[in-house]
């Protein structure tokens, strides 16, 4: 969607190698109780419900063909020179996100982006990277004093509770971190950690009980499209945009694209 609107996108991965999505979320294979069995493991039921939808798989296939995706920078090489926005993606294989959200290199880049007035857009676990990015000038997270959303505990818990029963050999597939003894359930969730980094807990935004199309936005069963934003929930906090999960991505990208176009009305960014 961003490139369709004329914006140039640069990718960066940890080592500079071409990125690849978690195959479980592309194919759907690996989330059913029989997934570890020969032959039968190729059949998916729960996986078909939770995997990327048809449009997402199509866009991923197109993205993999792009020169920019095939030749990313490494995190160490990435700079903000000539860049108008920094997009912090998320990921489904939660524990695989640890090196990303823990990276001091990326955290420094995030601090620099906020300090430099760039547009910062974060979705899902990408918000956790922003929350952990501490501005040395204030000693606080760059999200302190800002409004944000992220992967909510309701969405994270629902997927976790389902797959811990069907993926018994890896029951915490959907959790980045699990709670230690004595910690309340959900204490180590994305929402809880992000909230602890904010100035006020109410700065973490979720769908209001009275919001139109609330079920579409909160069920985890419906995703937005390029022409239907009703299922989406995106928080626009000026120079910072955030969203929760893949069901928000079209609207999330549209808001980011609009902000980029507003800064450069005569050219892509």
Written as one string, the DSSP assignment of 70-133 is HSPEETTT---TT-SEEEE---SSGGGGHHHHH-HHHHHHHHHHHHTT-EEEEETTHHHHHHT-
Cβ atoms of residues 32 and 44 within 8 Å: yes
Separation CA 194–CA 215 (nearest Å) = 24
Summarised one tens digit per residue, pLDDT across range 147-174 is 999 999 999 999 999 989 998 888 988 8
Average pLDDT score, the chain: 94
Neighbours of 266 (CB within 10 A): 5
User: CB-based burial of residue 212 (10 Å sphere; 0-12 exposed, 13-18 middle, 19+ buried)?
Assistant: exposed
Q: What is the dihedral of CA 88, 89, 92, 97, to 10 degrees?
A: -40
Domains of the chain by start residue, with CATH: 12-263 (3.40.50.880)
Separation CA 167–CA 146 (nearest Å) = 37
Separation CA 164–CA 147 (nearest Å) = 32
Where is pLDDT greater, at 9 or 263? 9
Cβ atoms of residues 5 and 267 within 8 Å: no
Summarised one tens digit per residue, pLDDT across range 115-147 is 999 999 999 999 999 999 999 999 999 999 999
Query: Is the predicted pLDDT of residue 267 greater than 60, yes or no?
Result: no
Going by C-alpha positions, the residue among 183, 182, 162, 164 that lies closest to residue 172 is: 164
The arithmetic mean of pLDDT across residues 69-91, rounded, is: 97
Summarised one tens digit per residue, pLDDT across range 3-56 is 999 999 999 999 999 999 999 999 999 989 998 888 888 888 988 888 999 999
Summarised one tens digit per residue, pLDDT across range 168-199 is 888 988 898 999 999 999 999 999 999 999 99
Residue with tokens 């018994």: 168
The arithmetic mean of pLDDT across residues 74-88, rounded, is: 97
């Amino acid at each position: 969607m961003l490139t369709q609107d004329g914006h140039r996108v640069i990718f960066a991965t940890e080592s500079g190698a071409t990125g690849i999505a978690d195959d479980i979320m592309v194919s759907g294979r690996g989330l059913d109780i029989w997934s570890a069995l020969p032959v039968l493991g190729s059949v998916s039921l729960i996986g078909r419900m939770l995997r990327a939808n048809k449009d997402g798989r199509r866009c991923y296939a197109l993205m993999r063909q792009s020169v920019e995706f095939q030749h990313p920078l490494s995190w160490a090489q990435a700079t903000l020179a000539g860049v108008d926005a920094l997009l912090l993606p998320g990921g489904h294989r939660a524990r695989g996100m640890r090196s990303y959200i823990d990276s001091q290199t990326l955290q420094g880049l995030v601090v620099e982006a906020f300090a430099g007035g760039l547009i910062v857009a974060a979705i899902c676990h990408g918000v956790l990277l922003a929350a952990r990015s501490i501005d040395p000038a204030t000693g606080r997270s760059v999200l302190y004093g800002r409004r944000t959303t992220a992967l909510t505990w309701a969405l994270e818990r629902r997927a976790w509770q389902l797959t811990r029963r069907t993926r018994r050999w890896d029951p915490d597939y959907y959790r980045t971190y699990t709670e230690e003894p004595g910690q309340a359930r959900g204490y180590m969730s994305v929402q809880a950690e992000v909230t602890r980094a904010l100035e006020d807990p109410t700065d973490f935004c979720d769908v209001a009980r009275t919001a139109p199309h609330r079920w579409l936005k909160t069920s985890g069963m419906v995703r937005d499209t390029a022409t239907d934003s009703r299922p989406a929930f995106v928080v626009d906090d000026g120079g910072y945009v955030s969203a929760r999960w893949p069901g928000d991505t079209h609207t999330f990208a549209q808001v980011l694209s609009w902000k980029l176009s507003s800064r450069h009305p005569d050219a892509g960014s």
